[in-house]
Each structure stands twice: as C-alpha cells, then as structure tokens.
C-alpha cells in the first residue's frame, strides 16, 4: 500500500525525492502518513481537496480487502 501511495503522488509533485510515507498500525486501524515538500502541498491537495480525495478513494479501495480500517493523512 505504501508503494501505491508513492506511485500515485510522485508524478504529481516537483520534488519526488521528498515524498515519504510512514505507517502506523494500531488494533483494527492502519494510518498512512504522507509527507511532501512544502511547495508541493497544493498539488497534492488540489482545488477544494479534489486530488487528495481521489488519492484517498484509490487507497481505500485497494485496502478494502484487509480487515482493518485505513486512513491517509497528508502533511508536510
């Protein structure tokens, strides 16, 4: 799942080397924390959050086979 997020986000940004995804697993829940360069934040979020919503939709669909709830947080 981490690779999927990186594959989606890296072509969108100007600094793909600054894209990092960390994973926090708790009971029944997996949180992926996406961090990008400060200047690329707008590109990842998109107008009115459309790009971020699309990324979350793909990630949630890919993780639907797991028995855990999946969350994606986007930050710097």
CATH of the domain at 55: 3.30.300
- Give a yes or no: residue 54 inside a domain: yes
In a domain, 18, yes or no: yes
Which domain range does residue 22 map to? Answer: 2-64
Report pLDDT for 3.
94
Q: How far apart are CA 54 and CA 24, in angstroms?
A: 21
Quick one: pLDDT at residue 11?
A: 96
pLDDT at 65: 85
Is the residue at 74 inside a domain?
A: no
For the record, the structure tokens of 54 come out as: 């699309």
Phi, psi of 25 (to 5 degrees): -105, 125
Q: What is the pLDDT of residues 13-57, one digit of tens each?
A: 999 999 999 999 998 899 999 999 999 999 999 999 999 999 999
* Number of domains present in the structure of the chain: 1
Asked whether the beta carbons of 61 and 54 are under 8 A apart, the reply is no
pLDDT given at position 57: 94
> What is the number of residues in the chain?
76
Determine the Cα angle at 35 with ends 33 and 38, to 5°. 150
């Amino acid at each position: 799942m981490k690779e999927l997020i990186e594959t989606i986000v890296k072509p969108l940004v100007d600094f793909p080397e600054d894209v990092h995804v960390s994973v926090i697993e708790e009971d029944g829940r997996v949180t992926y924390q996406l961090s990008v360069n400060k200047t690329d934040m707008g590109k990842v979020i998109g107008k009115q959050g459309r790009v971020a919503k699309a990324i979350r939709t793909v990630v949630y669909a890919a993780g639907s086979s797991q028995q855990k709830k999946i969350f994606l947080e986007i930050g710097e």
